[in-house]
Amino acid sequence: MELEVIRQTDSEIADLIEKELDRQKNTIELIASENFTSPAVMAACGSILTNKYAEGKPYKRFYNGCENIDKIEELAIERAKKLFNAEHANVQPHSGAQANMAVFMYAVKPGDMVMGMDLSNGGHLSHGSPVNFSGLYFNIVSYGINENGVIDYDKVRELSLKNKPKLIVCGASNYSKIIDFKKFKEIADETGALLLADIAHIAALVAAGEHPSPFPYADFVTTTTHKTLRGPRGGIIMCKEKHAAGIDKAVFPGIQGGPLEHIIAGKAVALKEALSPEFKKYAHQVVLNAKELAQALMEEGLDIVGNGTDNHLMTLDLRKTGNTGKDIANLLEKAGITANKNTVPNDPQSPFITSGVRLGSPAVTTRGFKEEDMREVGKIIAEVVKIGNSSNEEKLKELKARSLKLCQKYPFLY
Ligand code: DSN
């Protein structure tokens, strides 16, 4: 329906959206940070709320006519607080990186020492990468993971005592183990550092009790809303009440102007869904599915960083197969599976080539995939790795048909 409305004005964009719908429907989505929103979330994001300016906070706006917007944003805030048991929530950040930027703006000054997880070890750009604002404007000390794929907490403590960061960032974009938030808090307390937990990837697992919560420990918790949480593309900051006014000011007018109220409405709908018992089941299945995929791949003789997963993702370590992450991610696409190349610890390849592929279960679990489907996905991936650079197009076509069959087993959402 919406597509036809777009087509009346712009057939080029309508055609491309239609093609993208077809791609999403007929490929196995294993990008660990992607998901499918409900049609209700999607509709809220495409609603007339996009027409409204609402700079400021609910009931304290710089524009008139915000009486409905105020209630919508208030609902999103209250639902976020309830879902995570948070003292304060700001639902305006346009993205996870913006959420982190606002916390940095409030908690540290340019030149201050900040400690975060190294990007190539699974951290995020906004946790101190030299090419990001976080690495450009702050002094960064980075920690990583050990040979077992686990954060080296002794090293984190040692680095913290030596460098005395004002802010410690924990949380990751590619880490398959449970994060010990309590340990991070103890380390932060030893030097009086503030603690930011970025739970963008594991938000749904935290909300559903599948991963320990950082809320008793962290001063600030940031998340995106579009990954495991299954909402629209955006961010949220939650924090202790004592930081509330400062965080709100850092978001607006600090780093953003007008909030995207159509997206905030989408966040509110997604958070309502996340408060339901069905969502708890979903989060549980996400973990079961990831574990099953990791097991299936290891049984096929492939290496997984850390020998398995405790959450929704894993990294396939291709070093012993003679393939690069870039090549296998491209071949997987030909076989009907979307994933992204990713570095492995101490990767001999550059971040543009890599020796790994990151795989995640959130999106396929939303589609309805269960453990038996993940086993088949594991077999298809293993076949692709076997093909490697031999460019066996016939075999890839065969595998693509197997992927399509799995997709067609479940009705698509839209
Ligand atoms: N780029 C995201 C991811 O893929 O994990 C993190 O923000």
Q: Which of 180, 198, 273, 327 is catalytic?
A: 198
Q: Confirm or reject: Cβ of 326 under 6 Å from ligand 1.
A: no
Quote the CA–CA distance of 73 and 371 in Å, as a whole number: 38
Quote the CA–CA distance of 314 and 171 in Å, as a whole number: 15
Phi, psi of 301 (to 5 degrees): 90, 10
Q: Tell the residue nearest (CA) to atom 2 of ligand 1.
A: 33
Q: Confirm or reject: Cβ of 96 under 6 Å from ligand 1.
A: yes
- Can you give the pTM of this predicted structure? 0.97
Q: Does 281 participate in catalysis according to the annotation? A: no
Q: Separation of 11 CA from ligand 1 center, angstroms?
A: 31
Q: Separation of 1 CA from ligand 1 center, angstroms?
A: 31
Q: Does 233 participate in catalysis according to the annotation? A: yes
Q: Tell the residue nearest (CA) to atom 6 of ligand 1.
A: 173
Quote the CA–CA distance of 55 and 259 in Å, as a whole number: 6
Q: Separation of 70 CA from ligand 1 center, angstroms?
A: 30
- What 8-state DSSP symbol labels residue 344? -
What is the model's pLDDT at position 148? 86
Q: Confirm or reject: Cβ of 56 under 6 Å from ligand 1.
A: no
Q: Does 53 participate in catalysis according to the annotation? A: yes
Q: Which two tokens stand for residue 407?
A: 């997709």
Which segments of 252-394 are extended strands (E)? 303-304, 313-317, 337-338, 340-342, 356-360
Q: Does 198 participate in catalysis according to the annotation? A: yes
Q: Tell the residue nearest (CA) to atom 3 of ligand 1.
A: 33
Tens-of-pLDDT digits for all 414 residues of the chain?
A: 589 999 999 999 999 999 999 999 999 999 999 999 999 999 999 999 999 999 999 999 999 999 999 999 999 999 999 999 999 999 999 999 999 999 999 999 999 999 999 998 999 999 999 999 999 999 999 999 997 899 999 999 999 999 999 999 999 999 999 999 999 999 999 999 999 999 999 999 999 999 999 999 999 999 999 999 999 999 999 999 999 999 999 999 999 999 999 999 999 999 999 999 999 999 999 999 999 999 999 999 999 999 999 999 999 999 999 999 999 999 999 999 999 999 998 899 999 999 999 999 999 999 999 999 999 999 999 999 999 988 799 999 999 999 999 999 999 999
Q: Confirm or reject: Cβ of 90 under 6 Å from ligand 1.
A: no
Handedness of CA 322, 377, 367, 149 (dihedral sign): negative
Handedness of CA 98, 315, 184, 288 (dihedral sign): positive
Q: Confirm or reject: Cβ of 33 under 6 Å from ligand 1.
A: yes
Q: Separation of 313 CA from ligand 1 center, angstroms?
A: 12
Ligand 1, closest atom to CA 31?
Answer: 4
Backbone conformation region of residue 403, classed left if phi is above 0, alpha if psi is from -120 to 50, else beta: alpha
What is the model's pLDDT at position 2? 84
Q: Confirm or reject: Cβ of 315 under 6 Å from ligand 1.
A: no
Q: Does 2 participate in catalysis according to the annotation? A: no
Q: Confirm or reject: Cβ of 226 under 6 Å from ligand 1.
A: no
What is the model's pLDDT at position 1? 59
Burial class of residue 413, CB neighbours in 10 A (0-12, 13-18, 19+): middle
Q: Separation of 188 CA from ligand 1 center, angstroms?
A: 25
Q: Separation of 97 CA from ligand 1 center, angstroms?
A: 10
Q: Confirm or reject: Cβ of 223 under 6 Å from ligand 1.
A: no
Q: Does 217 participate in catalysis according to the annotation? A: no
Q: Separation of 32 CA from ligand 1 center, angstroms?
A: 8
Closest C-alpha among 323, 389, 379, 380 to residue 356: 323
